[in-house]
Structure 1
Amino acid sequence: MDPAAEAAAEGPGAPSGRPPEASGSGSSEDIIVTGLLRRSLASAAQIKRNSDAILDAVVAQDIGKLPDDSAAETLARIPGVQVDRNADQVTQVIVRGLPNVATTYNGREFFTAELRRAQLQDLPAQALAGLEVYKSGTADLIEPGLAGLVNVRTRRPLDFKGIVVGGGLRGAYNDQSKLFDPSGNILLSNRWDTGIGEMGALINLTYSRQRFYNATRFNNTFVTDSSPTSTISPNPGKGIRYPYSVGLYNPGGKRWLPSGNVALQWKPNSDLEFYAEGYFQGYRANNFLDLWENDLRAENPALSNVVLVDGTNYVKSMTKNGGVRQQAFRSTHEAYTDSYQVATGAVWHTGRATLSTDFAYTSSIFKFFEHSLDSALASPQTIDVDFMSSGGASFSLPNFKITDPSQYIWRGYFESRLYAAGTGYQWRGDLDLDTDPLPLLRSLKVGYRVTTRKAERYSGSRYANTEALKVPLSDLSIGELSLITNGFRGNAQGFTQYLSYPFAAIDGNQSKLRQLSREGLRRRLALDPNNAELAADLAAWTSEDVQVVPAARFLAEEKTYAAYISGKFGFDVGSMQVDGTAGVRAIITNGQYSGTSRTTVNGVTTATPQTLRQDYVDVLPSMNMRVKFTDALQLRLGYTHTRTQPEFGDLNPAVTITQATGATTVMGPAGPVRATGGGGNPDLKPLTSKNYDASLEWYFSKSGSVSAAIFYRDLFGFINNYARFVQDPTFGYIRLNRPENSGEGRISGAEVGFQSFLGFLPGFLKGFGVQGNATYLNAKTRNPTFDAAGNSFTYGPFRELAGISRIAYNASVFYEKDGIVTRLSYNKRSSYISGYGVDVNNKEFANRIAAISRLDFSFGYDITKNITISADATNLLAKPFSNYFADSNGFRYTQDVRYEGRYFGLGFRFRFGE
């Protein structure tokens, strides 16, 4: 077995060592597991089998050989885990129905920027030795979130027998961007016997790059009545309804991930070990977003060729003439993340006691810059639109000459910047005491942990609206106009391209575009010298850099003090062995959160600093029990309390309130709303959950197992944004959008999993194996309902929790024999609600995501014992992502149909040494 995988069975951050060898199907003989894939499955099964908690694991077959590009993609294959994807990457990990996942790196807390968790999609899989998903906690673990805890594990030098050099290179081709991108890693490790003990050093460097381009056709979620003054042909004799606009929404660009880690170990003797580790994770992105929008309702267009859905007044297809001109933008984004963690610690085994300590410092900075060049057509173009073609919106502009530059004018220029950062210190000390020969208590563990955390965030933006000047887009002289990429497959979408400037022309010419914006605003102000709004817009452009908006500045400082006591127990009931852990963890949190509120009345803005303190105590009991009916068959039972703190930004005490100007269509409890606002909520409470788990596991061979689990979560306080109406003496009713704790929640579910090589087959067929798992979830919560005054609320009836598929499953067929390792994997999750919204009539609607499936393939061949060549393909089915919504009357339109990339990779890996 891979010694690193064996060491992981001791838990996150454990020193290298040897856990008790897992026995197969009751045999005491030492069964040698050969083949990297077999060893990977066997190691993962051993970690799951010997853990004190209920967990699932994935172990790298070798250096750089986790089966996916990122840690987040690998997690999607684990039972009970679902993921959300966008722009060809995982954007959220959901465990057993909840997104509130804590993250640790070799057992230590780590995070990205101002978040409480790490962005797992930023971790290249080549850098990792394995992943563990803890679905039930133990008292000695850093507090899991409501959803559990994901531990990311890397290698240490004493995991190897001597000098090791390993790594690989891979290139991947994206069939949408039509570009080829490299990734690779190299690991160097060695260990020495010296006069002062055994020492080891390791360095691992990783680089990954991805260029992508997605294409999306969309219907606007705002379903509107036709304008009363529009001509309609044929006239149905009644009002008609249709989406306000249709368009294209195409994200693309380049992101690359440099990362590296170092580890040093020193063992003066077999009982004492010192270690030091350093970790760097970088994220870089030069991305862009192309948007084209066709307004179908404003300025009284003429509608012809109107076809209604049978028996309704909803439009299936039509032609629009006149009205508002089409508009577009290309928004370019630069993003940077630099995350560092350095740590040192020691482990001392002394007789019956093991003492350990660990100290770490973490720093993470995120910077984001946006530069958007907006355009419009010189005049409105005829559009033929089918709102329900090939699963979604489809449109064409039959008379439009897309390559004629004279058709495009400059509409405006937008800039923004965002800065977010987080720093933190953490220290823990633990004592593990062997209490044999006490009759029930086998060991006692106590520990203490102290953390300090600082998080900050600020942002600013500005916009220059220049459309009234009618400046031809080609006159900006920042480069050559060219057609955007056509990322659509098939012929469902008629209009796919239009003229725009390249990324470098926009992102590389900020100074010129700023000067053009100033000149444009001056020209507009000269024509309308009393326009205060124009004057304010021009003032925002006097500086070269975007100024920070005071209301967007936020600072949080927290200290936590945690202590735990946990005992391992064990006894026999006849021929059955019963063991487990029981303990309690208590956490004191002291926090201070600061921001600036802003109120705008008659164009005058008043800023008011706000500061809030929160001090509270959480007590989290836990109990996990295992009943071993035989050496191969065991039952696990778990009862735990978990909590997740609100995100720092959600606790921002600042709000922004803006008085409405002119007519307003937003309705409140007693007529039109005269002000709107939003912000954080300093009254948010931590999300809490009582968790009940049961898992039956049968390990019938070294790499073969069957498991079935059921679970129930009784939770309170799930956080979402909600709109409420607050009565104010100045404005009357204010519509305020901010995060609130929801009421009770209930999640119940079941998981099944199976993996095995088919060793009973003859000859070369012995190399085949199968792996599969399925999850069922039933998740409901109660959302806030506010009284007529908006000042207090109760909780409504239970309804479906957003973001959760009822059913998800993974199925893989693999083969390993004679140097060949190949795998075909299929993943699917059923449709789910992505969120709830409120229309202009204050009626709620739901947005639902259609079922999502993926098919991936990989092939590897060992041309020598040290070198492997590989080929892989991901997202082979390339089924478009789609979501849909129902308006306040219940009629359904598809919102987005998004075409995502297929990736085809070639590579090789090498390893010299043991």
Structure 2
Amino acid sequence: MKTRNALLLVTASLAALCASAPATAQDAPAQDEAADPQTTDDDATTSREIVVTGYRASLGSAQTIKRSSDAIVDAIVSEDIGKLPDNNAAEAIARVPGVQVLRYNDEAGVVLVRGLPDVATTFNGREFFTADDRVLHLQDFPAGVAAGLEVYKSGTSNLIEPGLAGLINLRSRRPFDVRDTEIAGEIRASYNDQSRSFDPAGNLLLTKRWDTPIGELGALINFSYVRTTYRNADRYADSAIISPRGFNEGDPGDDIPVTTPGVGNFRFPANAGNFYEKGVRHRPAINGTVQWKPTADLEVYAEGLWQAYRGDVLRDAFNVNFERRSAAGQLPTISNVVLVPGEPNKAASFTKTGGYVPEFFRSTQDDSTDTYQGAVGFKWKTGRATLSGDFAYTNSKYKAKEDSVDAQLATAPTINVDWDVRGSAVFDLGNYDISNPANTLWRGYFQRDFVTKGDGVQGRLDLDLETDWSWLPRLQFGIRATDRTAAVQNNNRYGYTAFAGLRLDSLPTGTLELISDGFRGDPQRFQNWLAAPRQSIRDNVDALRQATLRTVQQLTVLYPNDFGIREAVTKFATEEIPYDPFGGFRAREASYAGYAQGKFDFDLGGEVRADGTFGVRVVNTDGRYSGFSRIDGQPVAQTTRQNYVDVLPSIQTRIRFSNELQLRLAFNQTRTRPGFGQLNPSLNITRNNPGPDGSPPRYAAFGSGGNPDLKPLTSDNYDATFEYYFSKNGSATVAVFYRDLFGFINNYTRDVQDPVYGLIQINRPENAGAGKIKGAEASFQTFFDFLPGFLSGFGTQLNVTYLDGTNGLPTVLGEGARQVRIPGLSKWAYNLTAFYERNGLSARLSYNRRSNFINSYNRNANEELYAGEISRPVARLDFSLSYEAMKGITIVANASNLLGEPFNNYRYYNETQYFGRDLRVEGRYYSLGLRFKM
């Protein structure tokens, strides 16, 4: 309520200020509005109009945005998105210089700008978010929603606070963008060669403008739908590296027997296995806008968006453990050991017999997201002043319901494992009869209800004043207020049933099936095992609950002192999963911002001119974050509060040597707030189960949670670009940049000796130390119009980015902050694109590659220093083809991920040695469709 009252107050204050402004004004230059995502007037429409007919016009529109912007901006417009083989906005933006994406399950997810994930996101210039996040999930936006995407790599003071990496604005179409009436759309069918499924997609745009007695009216509605079916296969080796001797130093009873003579002690991953994920994603979206211009000086608009996700997910995992004892208390035996040449303490392959049985599970999940935003706004010119405002409400909710049936083999088979075959482990089970249901036992049942949501109101007022000063033609002022809430609730229960010795096919899910794998020509020797059908699990969740309850009730008689079994009896006694106070947090955060900015323009002599902006933005953040910690098994309420003020100066200068040649220099400061979940003050500690023989586990407990002591990331940003525009769609640019940062946030795993639990492993977010990023970008685009005949249809777009970034790790045990590469940052990334467009035929071949990057740093037992997990280089090749069969009707064909290169990472367990971790095989997409416009 406090923020809502503040919005009313600032509205009245700025309206009064505007009314007292001088009443002589000229239209603002279009170039000043081109990069302002909050602009709605005709000048902005002229400079950023997305009505294009091909690659040439599309590249020209994006080039105009970049050329005339106050800030350093790269853009991609609708024809780029529509004519690339991209299902969503995240895929499309991956082709912008300096932008990289992290892909999982056949789609782009996390977006990085210049190597950093802390990117602010806006929709039509206003804050937009998904569930409890601070940012929107670009992968949830079908490409058909977007008219353009703008990546701000430097921020001006009138922009919503950019993140450490910058700001991405997704812009939808508006009715005043077209002249009269437009009906346009696309229908498409796609095929995934790994899931072997066909999927539909399409969008329909309807828009019209009217001249009426009450002024000009425009209305637009856009429908979009994308379905994708994916199937990924992952074979992995564990990040925990062990040795036969030294598992528990000084305790020979824990030494794993090795029968191969002369090999000495050596190291290998504690686990290996397969992980498959299959799913169907449905992403519908509807957005609409009404614009009204009653006079030439006043425009009012209202717009709304519903964007949704529906998922049906199936996960299968099979895990082999190489260190644990059997149920009878016997350690495994290792034989046939072969060591890596030149690394006598590192295993290349061996055979394991006995020990703990392999475990596996089948998890089914139904999940959904619904995100709504409604907004109203206006722009009013009066005299020298222009007043604009935008007020919006956003609500977003994500829900997931998961049911997992766990199993294990009845006996421990002989396992033959090779630790590095094309990047990760492969293994087999010898002659074990995996298809015999008698060899598969029920191990447990897991259920989870997960909900995360957020909502918020926001409002801004901006005043633009023209002056009589030639060197300072415009002054801009604005205020903005927001009120956000975020909440997460994760209720779950697990019944461990392995001690009962029940066969998996005795459950109410019926006959077992041999699961299908997702590999494509992979050398993994073991790929399939038995599981209950997905639909049988979903249709029998209550019968599974009752079976679990009966079983754990019987086990309490056999194991009366087992707390986990007794807890399961309580949790499975009700149909609904009991509320878990440890499984959630709440946050409420208000922010108040104001800015002042001047736009300067003056001669430097001859034809050289300089223009730009200078200003400051002041932001007050007031947040309250609460949750529950588990202390001695009891919930203890935890609440923290943060209140701080950021003063963020910025200056942007453009020196125009000629119409074609210009230099930009920029400096600004940014602050990136920690995520709401990262600020969760609760810490949940879960005791680890002893082995089947009662032997103590390595870790007495595992802990995870947020960190209420996190500070915002801070950065001083320096940028320079040299830009040469030699034609309407031809340019060459070079950029250099430097970021001086502190407090980069990442999750770190540490071992902690707790006085109550003993040795526990805790994973939580922490601020890293000081760091820096320096880098350079180069880009070039043109069509070869000077070539004769059909050769004039060829064109190209090339860009390359170099990054060098480090930060200090959190200190441990008095150590100094160790400087390491920033997670997620690739040193090199480039896009190479070739076009052809002539006589109705358009073709594009695009190659994208990024070099290796750090996933994370962990500090596990027996490791003296943090060790890193690194992903190998990732490359993709995409192709698109279209032909205008008749006016307004175009046939389109796309192919994505033609190379089909697997994702692969590896884990360093000391300064020089590593094992392969994950090798994930992803699908190729082929699509055929029809695009129309009338």
Distance in 2 (alpha carbons) for counterparts of 1:211 and 1:59: 27
For residue 449 of structure 1, what is the aligned residue in structure 2? 480
Whether 1:542 aligns to 2:568 is: no
Give the counterpart letter for 1:827 in structure 2. Answer: N
Partner SS for 1:876: coil
Which residue number corresponds to residue 789 of structure 2?
A: 763
Contact persistence 1:66–1:125 (CA under 8 A): no
1:479 Cα deviation from its structure 2 partner: 4.0
For residue 475 of structure 1, what is the aligned residue in structure 2? 506
- Report deviation, 1:724: 5.8
How many Å apart are 1:659 and its aligned residue? 6.9
Which residue identity does 1:613 align to in structure 2?
R
Counterpart in 2 of 1:656?
Answer: 684
Q: Which residue of 851, 856, 860 corresponds with 2:873?
A: 851
| Residue equivalent to 1:620 | 648
- Cα gap change, 1:462 to 1:665, in 2 (>3 Å): closer
Report the Cα offset of residue 630 of structure 1: 0.6
- Give yes or no for the alignment of 1:426 onto 2:455: no
Partner of 1:515: 546
What is the aligned partner in structure 1 of residue 664 from structure 2? 636
Equivalences for 1:689-704 in 2 at 5 Å?
689-704=715-730
Mapped contact 2:236–2:917 kept (Cα < 8 A): yes
Change (3 A) 1:652 1:486: closer
Pairwise CA distance, 1:6: 10
Cα gap change, 1:337/1:359 in structure 2, threshold over 3 Å: closer, same or farther? same
Indicate how the Cα distance of structure 1 residues 660 and 283 shifts in structure 2: closer, same or farther if over 3 A, else same.
closer
Question: How far 1:595 sits from its partner (Å)?
Answer: 1.2
* Equivalent residues of 1:176, 1:213 under 8 A apart: yes
Distance (whole Å) between structure 2 residues aligned to residue 34 and residue 677 of structure 1: 54
Moved more, 512-521 or 477-486: 477-486
Determine if contact 1:80/1:775 at 8 Å carries over to the other structure.
Answer: yes
Aligned counterparts of 2:141 and 2:830: Cα–Cα separation in 1: 24
Alpha-carbon deviation of 1:237?
A: 4.7
Whole-angstrom CA distance in 1 between matches of 2:504 and 2:455 = 44
**Change beyond 3 A, Cα 1:839–1:260:** same
Write out aligned runs for 1:245-284 (5 A).
245-284=271-310
Is 1:557 the equivalent of 2:582?
no
Equivalent residue runs for 1:61-72 within 5 Å: 61=79, 64-65=82-83, 67-72=85-90
Measured in 1, the distance between the counterparts of 2:537 and 2:689 equals: 33
| Matched residue, 1:308 | 339
Specify the alignment match of 2:425 in structure 1.
Answer: 393
1:512 and 1:729 map into 2 onto residues whose CA distance is 42
Per the alignment, do residues 733 and 320 of structure 1 end up closer, same or farther by CA in structure 2, a change over 3 Å counting? closer
Residue 828, structure 1, aligned to residue 849, structure 2: yes
Residue pairs, 1:594-605, within 5 angstroms: 594-600=626-632, 605=633
Distance 1:430 1:273 in 2: 15
1:769-804, CA deviations, whole angstroms, 9 ceiling, x for partnerless residues? 00110000000001221346xxxxx75132211111
Deviations 1:390-413, CA, capped at 9 Å, x for gaps? 232111223123322222111111
Please tell me whether the aligned partners of residues 509 and 533 of structure 2 are also in contact (alpha carbons under 8 angstroms): no
Matched, 1:753 2:779: yes
Structure 2 counterpart of 1:791: none
| SS of aligned partner of 2:154 | coil
**Structure 2 residue corresponding to 1:783, chosen from 776, 787, 809:** 809
Report the Cα offset of residue 551 of structure 1: 2.0
The one of 367, 373, 379 equivalent to 2:411 is 379
Paired with 1:851 and 1:796, the residues of 2 have a C-alpha distance of: 28
Do the aligned partners of 2:672 and 2:714 also contact (CA within 8 Å) in 1? yes
Instruction: Decide whether the 8 Å contact of 1:114 with 1:456 is kept in 2.
Output: yes
Partner of 2:195: 177
- Asked if 1:578 is matched to 2:610, the reply is yes
Deviation sequence 1:888-909 (CA, Å, 0-9, x none): 3742211111110000111111
* 1:871 corresponding residue in structure 2: 893
Mapped contact 1:303–1:318 kept (Cα < 8 A):
yes
Judged with a 3 Å threshold, the aligned counterparts in structure 2 of structure 1 residues 242 and 71 are, in CA distance, closer, same or farther, namely: same
Map of 2:906 onto structure 1: 884
Does the Cα contact within 8 Å between 1:63 and 1:166 map onto a contact in 2? no
Q: Percent identity?
A: 48
Q: Which one is further off, 227-236 or 253-262? A: 227-236
Q: What number of residue pairs does the alignment pair up?
A: 884
Name 2:20's counterpart in structure 1.
Answer: none
331 and 233 in structure 1: CA distance in 2 versus 1, 3 angstrom threshold: same
Q: Pick from 852, 872, 883: which aligns with 1:861?
A: 883
Q: Which amino acid aligns with 1:483?
A: L
Cα pair distance change 1:713/1:10, threshold 3 Å: closer
Q: Is the alpha carbon distance of 1:16 and 1:864 closer, same or farther for their aligned partners in structure 2, counting shifts above 3 Å?
A: farther
Counterparts of 1:737 and 1:34 in 2: how far apart (Å)?
50
Which runs of structure 2 are paired with 1:58-457 in the superposition (5 Å)? 58-61=76-79, 64-65=82-83, 67-226=85-244, 230-299=256-325, 300-311=331-342, 312-435=344-467, 437-457=468-488
RMSD over aligned Cα atoms: 2.3
Q: Tell me the distance in 2 between the aligned counterparts of 1:889 and 1:190.
A: 64
Tell me which amino acid in the other structure corresponds to 1:395: F
Distance 2:235 2:749 in 1: 29
Q: Hey, what's the Cα distance between the residues in 2 that align with 1:139 and 1:495?
A: 58
Match of 1:493 in 2: 524
Tell me how far 1:150 sits from its aligned partner. 0.4
> 1:29 aligns to what?
none
Structure 1 residues 770-809: aligned runs within 5 Å: 770-787=796-813, 795-809=816-830
SS of structure 1 residue aligned to 2:60:
helix
SS at match of 1:441: coil
CA distances 1:212-247 after superposition (whole Å, capped 9, x unpaired) = 111111111222112666553432251232222211
Structure 1 pair 265–339 and aligned structure 2 pair: CA distance change class (3 A): same
Looking at structure 2, the residues matched to 170 and 95 of structure 1 have their Cα atoms a distance apart, in angstroms, of 30
Q: In 2, are the aligned partners of 1:711 and 1:748 still within 8 Å (CA)? A: yes
**Are residue 646 (structure 1) and residue 677 (structure 2) matched?**
no
Out of 536, 539, 560, the residue aligned to residue 505 of structure 1 is 536
Structure 1 stretch displaced more, 455-464 or 224-233: 224-233
C-alpha deviations, 1:842-869, integer Å up to 9, x for none?
A: 4321111001100000000101121111
> What is the CA–CA distance in structure 2 between the aligned matches of 1:216 and 1:569, rounded to whole Å?
56
Q: Kindly provide the amino acid, as one letter, of the partner of residue 709 in structure 1.
A: A
For 2:701 and 2:364, the matched residues in 1 are separated by: 32
Counterpart AA for 2:538: D
2:506 is paired with a residue of what secondary structure?
A: helix
Residue in structure 2 matched with residue 679 of structure 1 by the alignment: 705
Contact 1:8 1:47 (C-alpha < 8 Å) held by counterparts: no
Distance 1:269 1:630, change over 3 A: same
Contact 1:724–1:786 (8 Å) recurs in 2: no
Corresponding letter in the other structure for 2:641: R
Structure 1 538/386 Cα, relative in aligned 2: closer, same or farther at 3 Å?
same
The DSSP-based 3-state class of the residue aligned with 2:180 is: coil
The 8 Å contact of residues 244 and 257 in structure 2, kept in 1 or not, is answered as no
Q: Give a deviation string over 1:254-290, Cα, whole Å, max 9, x none.
A: 1110111010000112211110000011011111211
CA distance in 2, matches of 1:145, 1:463: 39
- Report how far residue 61 of structure 1 moved: 1.7
Aligned to 1:13: 38
Structure 1 residue corresponding to 2:770, chosen from 715, 729, 744: 744
> Taking structure 1 as reference, are residues 637 and 237 closer, same or farther at Cα in structure 2, changes over 3 Å only?
closer
1: CA distance, partners of 2:582 / 2:503: 36
Q: Residues 274, 586 of structure 1: CA spacing in aligned structure 2 closer, same or farther, 3 A cutoff?
A: same
Q: Distance in 1 between matches of 2:396 and 2:490?
A: 17
Distance 1:493 1:685, change over 3 A: same
Structure 2, unpaired ranges of 5+ = 1-29, 246-253, 326-330
Q: How far apart are 1:734 and its partner, in Å?
A: 7.0
Q: Please, which moves more after superposition, 833-842 or 750-759?
A: 833-842
CA 1:331–1:657 in structure 2 vs 1: closer, same or farther (change >3 Å)? closer
| Per-residue deviation, 1:178 | 0.4
Does the CA contact (< 8 Å) of 2:112 and 2:119 recur in 1?
A: yes
**Aligned 8 A contact 1:772 1:812 in 2:** yes
In structure 1, C-alpha distance between the alignment counterparts of 2:923 and 2:144, rounded to whole Å:
21
Q: Mean Cα displacement is larger for which, 833-842 or 448-457?
A: 833-842
In structure 2, the CA distance between the partners of 1:288 and 1:660, relative to structure 1 (3 Å rule), is closer
Question: Residue 599 of structure 1 contacts residue 658 of structure 1 at CA under 8 Å; is this kept in 2?
Answer: no
Deviation at 1:8, TM superposition (A): 8.2
